Amino acid sequence: MTIFIQSLDYSLWDLIVDSPSLPATTNASGVIIHKPKTTHNDDDGKKLQMNTKAKHVLIFAIKSNNFNRLSSCFLAKDMWDRLEVVYEGTNPVKEDTVSMLIHDYEIFIIHENEDIKTMFTRFTNIINSLQTLDKTYTNREMVRKFLGVYKEVGCLK
């Protein structure tokens, strides 16, 4: 989704990740509050429009069953943070997922009666999932692993 949003408008991505500075003012008690619409200037309107545009992109990019999790968020950044928890999990969950995928990578073998295309797809899915969770292997490591799988079944000598 990152690339999709960046391709639409890189400033949208910045807004989602960095959180916008929405129109605000300080009241008499020193508390920061949203500016009333009647006091918005052009810059305030642009900030609100960008936040709304980012929210729109995020809502239309998710599965409908996640809509309720996001619909109450005012900021696109809050939506993104919730999506990260839904799809990646909290840190302990993320670490467990990475550990499981590393294990799948390390014990990767070709299954009996499995064709090369299916095996390669399984391998690619493991690598892509790891990469999404910020764990990467070099091309050399992946080629070595893949060739090792072939050697085990007698395809390479």
Helix or strand (DSSP H, E) at 53? helix 42-61
pLDDT, one tens digit per residue, over 17-49 is 887 677 788 888 888 888 888 888 888 888 888
Say whether pTM exceeds 0.75. Answer: no
pLDDT, one tens digit per residue, over 47-84 is 888 888 988 888 887 777 778 778 888 888 888 888 87
Task: Please give the structure tokens belonging to residue 79.
Answer: 């939506």
